[in-house]
Amino acid sequence: MNSNERKPSWLKISLENGENYTKVKKIVEMNKLHTICSSGHCPNVSKCWGIGTATFMIAGDICTRSCKFCATNTGRPLALDNDEPTKIAESISLMKLNHCVITSVDRDDLEDKGANHWKKTIEQIRAKNPKTTIEILTPDFDGREDLLDIVLSAKPDVFSHNIETVERLSNQTRSRAKYDVSLKVLEYCSKKDFITKTGIMVGLGETEQEVIKTMEDVRKMGVKLFTIGQYLQPTKKHLEVEEYVTPEQFKKYHDIGMNMGFSNVESGPLVRSSYMAEKSFIESKISLKK
């Protein structure tokens, strides 16, 4: 698809810049924090910051992988900031968040791939904000169970890892992560009795049946929460958009997913991994009580 082609009306966003937006922006800048809201060119940044929420990105802002859909910088990362977990915890306290979402770049340069930094961050958040629920969106750690155990030992409330796209397009979209490895990561965490979550982008050339098959695959792994959003090309160097999926099709995916037994499916053009994360978590807890 021509990158100059005008986006459909349903992808237009309204910019919000109120008191909460300014407050979140100030806290992020004051503590020199990274957010996927900015690094990932998220279309919801104005809306989320406007209601006082943000998705924090730990372990720096330079990723060791170069996925063809991702706007995050790629290269040789800097050393970990040992004060970062404390800064994140204090920022969450200042924002008075009921539910926080933490993600990270891939750190294949580190022996533990950042697992212990993840653990320390979760523990610091919990100590400073005992009533805040914690959702983590992690890399695959190359599927290593010993590293997953380090992260899980800190007991996050939601474990999320994105499978990103359908199996056929996985190798050409992701630089190192593998479809089957992502499935194994999700299955392992589900079997450890964690609420698990994953998501995909559409508009990369996948078919409806491939999307449904992906939903079936992750549901078999015990995944409870699922997100589907429109892929948007960050720069001309990234993969082109093959299709702008209609809101009606997103609604169809939502209904199919709910009928499969997911506790919650967020499906829409502007949906991203952390979109309505607190709502999804609450609905998963309600589902578990039934």
Position 22 scores a pLDDT of: 64
Assess whether pLDDT exceeds 90 at residue 266. Answer: yes
**3-state class of 33 per DSSP?**
coil
On whether the CB atoms of residues 135 and 156 are closer than 8 A, the answer is yes
What is the C-alpha to C-alpha distance for residues 147 and 115, in angstroms, rounded to an integer? 6
CB 268 within 8 Å of CB 289: no
Could you tell me which of 141, 137, 49 has the C-alpha nearest to residue 101?
Answer: 137
Q: In terms of DSSP bridges, do strands 133-137 and 99-104 run parallel, antiparallel, or are they unpaired?
A: parallel
Task: Let me know: does 137 contact 103? Beta carbons within 8 Å.
Answer: yes
For residue 141, the model assigns a pLDDT of 98
Task: Give the mean model confidence (pLDDT) for residues 250-272.
Answer: 94
Q: What angle do CA 69, 71, 77 make, to 5 degrees?
A: 115
Return the SS3 of 101. strand
Per CATH, the number for 12-289 is 3.20.20.70
Choose among 178, 190, 251: nearest CA to 220.
Answer: 190
Closest CA to 159 of 167, 171, 168, 151: 151
Query: Mean pLDDT over residues 193-211, rounded?
Result: 97
Q: For the residues 173-187, what does the mean pLDDT come to?
A: 96
More confident residue, 237 or 49: 237
Placement of tokens 């809101």 in the chain: 247
Give the Cα separation of 43 and 41 in Å (integer). 6
Instruction: Identify the band that residue 7 occupies on the pLDDT scale cut at 50, 70 and 90.
Output: confident
pLDDT score, position 39: 46
- pTM for the model stands at 0.86
pLDDT tens, residue by residue, 124-142: 999 999 999 999 999 999 9
Give the mean pLDDT of the chain.
86
In this predicted structure, the answer to whether residue 43 has a pLDDT above a threshold of 70 is: no
Q: Which residue has the tokens 């978590």?
A: 281
User: Domain segments of the chain: what residues?
Assistant: 12-289
Q: Give the pLDDT band (50/70/90) at residue 47.
A: low
Q: Which range (30-44, 64-78, 156-170, 206-220) has the least confidence?
A: 30-44
| pLDDT surpasses 80 at 99 | yes
Helix axes 179-191, 208-220, angle to 10 degrees: 40
The per-residue pLDDT for 288 is 61
Residue 31 has pLDDT above 50, yes or no: yes
Q: Which helix (H) or strand (E) holds 217?
A: helix 208-220
pLDDT at 40: 43
Question: Binning pLDDT at 50, 70 and 90, where does residue 272 land?
Answer: confident
In this structure, which amino acid lies at residue 21? Y
* pLDDT > 60? residue 147: yes
Confidence of residue 95 (pLDDT cuts 50, 70, 90): confident
